[in-house]
Homo-oligomer: A and B are copies of this chain.
Amino acid sequence: MAHLPGTSIHLIADLKSGSGLADAARVEAALRKAAAAVGARLIGIHVHGFGEGLGVTGVALLAESHISIHTWPETGVAAVDLFVCGKDVDAEAGLAAIVAAFDAAVTRLHHIARLQAD
């Protein structure tokens, strides 16, 4: 990885949204905006739509780890995680970009410090 552990944060967020959750292009755009907001170097984005009106799963691979979005338009929810390493990245800004992209509300949020020395 491009950055050694030590400042690794993993945000785990459940979202509620009424719009865009079945739209693979919107998921891809949200991943790009989130990666930019984080300040990460994007390695690749992979998005898969499960069919008309159904959910979308998407992952952005970063030099600083990853961002994922999984959506269930049937129930108006999305599961997001942002795992980023390094001093110059801002996971919270990435989450805010995803929330804005879907006009969503965060219903549950966990902050997990990863790979910390004991």
Contact = CB atoms under 8 A, between A and B. Distances in A.
A99 to B, nearest CB: 16
B83 A83 contact: no
Interface in A52-94: 54-55, 57, 59, 61-63, 65-66, 68, 70-72, 74-75, 77, 79, 81, 83, 85
A112 interface: yes
Contacts of A39: none
Number of copies of this protein chain within its complex: 2
Interface residues of A, number: 41
Interface string A76-118: 0101010101000000000000000000000110101011101
B10 A12 contact: yes
Nearest to A79: B114
A33 B70 CA distance: 22
A10 to B, nearest CB: 6
